[in-house]
Amino acid sequence: MILKTEGFVLKSKKYGEADSLLTIFTRKLGKVNAIAKGARKPKSTLSSGVQPFCYSEFILYKGKSLYTVSQSEPKEIFYALREDVKKLSYASYLMELVEVVTNEGQTNNRLFTLLGRALYILAKPEVEVNTVIRSFEVNFMNYSGYKPEVSQCVNCGISDAKVYRFSSQEGGILCNQCFGTDLYAMKISPHTLRLIKYLMAKDITEIEKLKISDFLNEELKKILKNYILVHINKYDFKSLEVAEKL
């Protein structure tokens, strides 16, 4: 079976003497593993379209266990990300998130679009990186099927409580009457709660110039880190550790 599809290269590993083993998030097939034969040779016609981060059009051939990349035409290589170590690290983090939650044969067009838009925005010279990353994380959880409940208490349904806490285990906010449901629920300020709602309601392209205060960014980052850990069982992202040290 031969298929033509667009995709993002999530990972690339050396395979044999000159081949590359790719993990590609495609529009038509979801995540696939594919061999790019001879891609590491200096004169390979595949090399430019199979680099990490590349958004390319692929012609794939289905083998017994893996796809083979017959052709690749890069649409966007994101050179600007490669020239900025911090942005490169954050972009790698986004790729890691997507790689963890996607499955072969299971498409996710909303997540595919979100990833593309986030990479395009990060590659711009002047952008609020923290805002883009927090927006991506919020919508990433939504599009992955783990949307947190932030409009009302997940336990009793009250929507006008004065104080809430955020429970990763319960999947959203708890009012003060329901704090006992999760003794480890995290404090969340009214401003941070409003920020989450705002980021959920806005396309990522609409908030690229929005500046989040350090306090709100740190509180939301901590909440989302815990939420991602609980629901996808991973948060040891090496690329994120590098980005936050820079």
- Write down the pLDDT at residue 48: 87
Q: Token digits for 165? A: 């806490």
Amino acid at 222: K
- Write down the pLDDT at residue 246: 65
What's the length of the chain?
Answer: 246
The pLDDT of residue 209 is above 90: no
Task: Please tell me the distance from the alpha carbon of residue 209 to that of residue 212, in angstroms, as a whole number.
Answer: 10
- Write down the pLDDT at residue 68: 95
Domain layout of the chain by residue ranges: 2-77, 80-148+182-245
Report the topology of domain 80-148+182-245: de novo design (two linked rop proteins) (1.20.1440)
- Write down the pLDDT at residue 9: 96
- Over range 13-32, report the average pLDDT: 94
- Write down the pLDDT at residue 2: 86
Task: Please tell me the distance from the alpha carbon of residue 226 to that of residue 191, in angstroms, as a whole number.
Answer: 19
Q: Which CATH class is domain 2-77?
A: mainly beta
Q: Are strands 30-36 and 19-26 parallel, antiparallel or unpaired?
A: antiparallel
- Write down the pLDDT at residue 20: 94
User: 3-class DSSP state for residue 166?
Assistant: strand
Residue pLDDT, tens place only, 53-85? 899 999 999 988 899 999 999 999 999 998 999
Task: Please tell me the distance from the alpha carbon of residue 149 to that of residue 167, in angstroms, as a whole number.
Answer: 10
Residue pLDDT, tens place only, 133-163? 999 999 999 999 999 999 999 999 999 999 9
Amino acid at 93: Y
